[in-house]
Amino acid sequence: MTTAVVPTKTYTAEEYLAREVEAEVRNEFRSGEIVELSGGTPEHNELNGSLVVLLSIALRGKPYQVFVADQRLWIPERDLYTYPDVMVTAKPVALKPGRKDTVIEPIFVAEVLSKSTRSYDRDEKFEAYRAIASFQEYLMVDQYRVSVDHYVKQGENQWLFTHYHDLNARVTLASLPVEIALAELYEGVEFEDAPDPAPDSASAPKP
């Protein structure tokens, strides 16, 4: 999804949450700054939907909850409220104290990369996710070509990175009983050219 900064004013978290209840668009809260999240491309939405379906089918009847982009996540260690494209939590779902609309403690998060947010999703946002003790696994899905970056937590400040770029490949999640076939994930997606395509493998995240 693309982002546009709402200028100048600094808000408290309480002000942000009150505004968000009435807002017609979703907004991210970054340490006092409100950042509008605009809609994605058809390819972005197709991949989001496919990933949610694949996860929901694999996890049916198991003690997990799958969330899509409209669900707000709170990361207190980074003073960040955000809306991951896809995330999975354990059941019962842990909520921010005093709120019924904001979850905490995800196990798995996935982002579909766009031209404008690719760097943010790889760097600052991944760093924020890593501050969550429950967070174990991160998937970054490219909407412009077959390309999936997969990070699995191995220990304190240690993550195992695997890159997939073959439609015949399958991504086996470590934190959830799920295997994702790239052919199924990318089924129906029509690619457009991205201006500055990323290399076949992403650099390791900041510790």
Asked whether residue 141 is assigned to any structural domain, the reply reads yes
Whether 140 maps to a domain, the answer reads yes
Residue 68 lies in a domain: yes
Give the model's pLDDT for residue 5: 57
State the pLDDT at residue 37: 86
Residue 190 lies in a domain: no
Tell me whether residue 103 is in a domain: yes
Q: What is the dihedral of CA 53, 58, 60, 61, to 10 degrees?
A: -170
Residue 6 belongs to a domain = no
Number of domains in the chain: 1
Non-local CB neighbours of 7 within 8 Å, separated by 6+ positions: none
Query: Tens-of-pLDDT digits for all 207 residues of the chain?
Result: 555 555 568 999 999 999 999 898 899 999 899 999 877 889 999 999 999 999 999 999 999 999 999 999 999 999 999 999 999 999 999 999 999 999 999 999 999 999 888 999 999 999 999 999 999 999 999 999 999 999 999 999 999 999 999 999 999 999 999 999 999 999 999 887 544 544 444 444 554
CATH of the domain at 52: 3.90.1570.10
The pLDDT value given to residue 191: 85
Q: What is the pTM of this model?
A: 0.86
Q: How far apart are CA 184 and CA 104, in angstroms?
A: 29
Q: Which tokens in the block code for residue 203?
A: 């650099």
Beta strand pairing status for 80-82 and 106-113? unpaired
Residue 198's pLDDT is: 47
In a domain, 152, yes or no: yes
Q: Which residues share a beta bridge with 158?
A: 155
Q: What is the pLDDT, as a whole number, of residue 116?
A: 85
DSSP code per residue over the chain: --EEEPPS----HHHHHHHHHH-SSEEEEETTEEEEE----HHHHHHHHHHHHHHHHHTTTSSEEEEETTSEEEEGGGTEEE--SEEEEESSPPB-TT-SSEE--EEEEEEEE-TTTHHHHHTHHHHHHTTSTT--EEEEEESSSS-EEEEEEEETTEEEEEEE--TT-EEEPSSSS-EEEHHHHTTT------SSPPPSSPPPPP-
As a whole number of angstroms, the distance between CA 67 and CA 24 comes to 20
Strands 158-164 and 26-30: unpaired
pLDDT tens digits, one per residue of 102-149: 999 999 999 999 988 899 999 999 999 999 999 999 999 999 999 999
The single residue listed with the structure tokens 């709402």 is: 6
Which tokens sit at 56?
């929901």
Residue 200 lies in a domain: no
Domain of 69 in residue numbering reads as 40-185
